[in-house]
Amino acid sequence: MLAFCSFVSLLLVVITLLLRIKSKDMGTDIACFRLGGVHVVPITCPKIAREVLKKQDKNFLSRPLTFASHAISYEYKDAVLAPFGDQWMKMRKRADEADNLRSYIYNLIARGSSSTSGLANVDVRHVARHYYGNGIRRLVFGQRYFGEPQPDGGPGPMEVEHMDASFTLLGLLFSFCVSDYLPCLLGLDLDDHEKIIKEAITKVDRLHNMVIEER
């Protein structure tokens, strides 16, 4: 049994070398071979490999099913090794938001560096808040923006309004309110608690309904 396993391991190394030699003999940097029931596409050119990963990712997005990829990704719970499917699409949205966050921060830094002071200020709280908001909107509505996408990848006026209203509601969710302890005062709104909550809910509902009614 040990000898058989050693033979298989050696055979895999030989097959890899043979595929590379065969591609070289064919005068191509990319080829397709069928090994058993699996199509193998060896690429020897770094330029083509980058194009596959960036420009042609949709055509090669379904990763091969192997024991190693299954174990390393904890049963394909990530976006890198998972085969194409619902889990892959869900995780890809999270990865897209990370890419968008990086581009937005880069644009903020580039804009600040080109100013007269030459300094770039990045509000981490602002960036983190809208990274969270983008992820939720992509998950719920399948889109990052309520309005037109911004050139720098950042939030527009409606996205800022949406996040401000959402965090206002979160901040007041379990805050102190007189009417919670004295129900007879409900409606008098002595501390403007009810007014602030209703206004924030109205803003959130208006923005959500824009997307819902379009569908």
Q: What pLDDT digit, counting tens, does each position of 56-74 carry?
A: 766 666 666 766 666 766 6
pLDDT digit string (tens) for 67-115?
Answer: 666 676 667 666 566 666 666 666 666 666 667 777 777 777 776 665 5
210 has pLDDT over 60: yes
Q: What is the CA radius of gyration of the chain?
A: 27
Q: Does 94 reside within a domain? A: no
Distance (Å, whole) CA 125 – CA 97: 16
Q: Does 58 reside within a domain? A: no
Domain that residue 196 falls in: 136-215
pLDDT of residue 4: 46
Question: Alpha-carbon torsion 169, 171, 172, 174, what sign?
Answer: positive
Q: What is residue 39's three-state secondary structure?
A: strand
Q: Does 12 reside within a domain? A: no
Q: Does 31 reside within a domain? A: no
Distance (Å, whole) CA 215 – CA 213: 5
Phi first, then psi: what are they for 187, rounded to 5°? 105, -30
Per the structure, the count of domains in the chain is 1
The closest of 108, 174, 100, 102 to 137, measured between CA atoms, is 100
Q: Does 191 reside within a domain? A: yes
**Strand ranges for 10-98 from DSSP E:** 33-35, 38-40
Q: Does 160 reside within a domain? A: yes
The count of other CB atoms within 10 Å of the CB of residue 13 is 9
Q: Does 213 reside within a domain? A: yes
pTM: 0.53
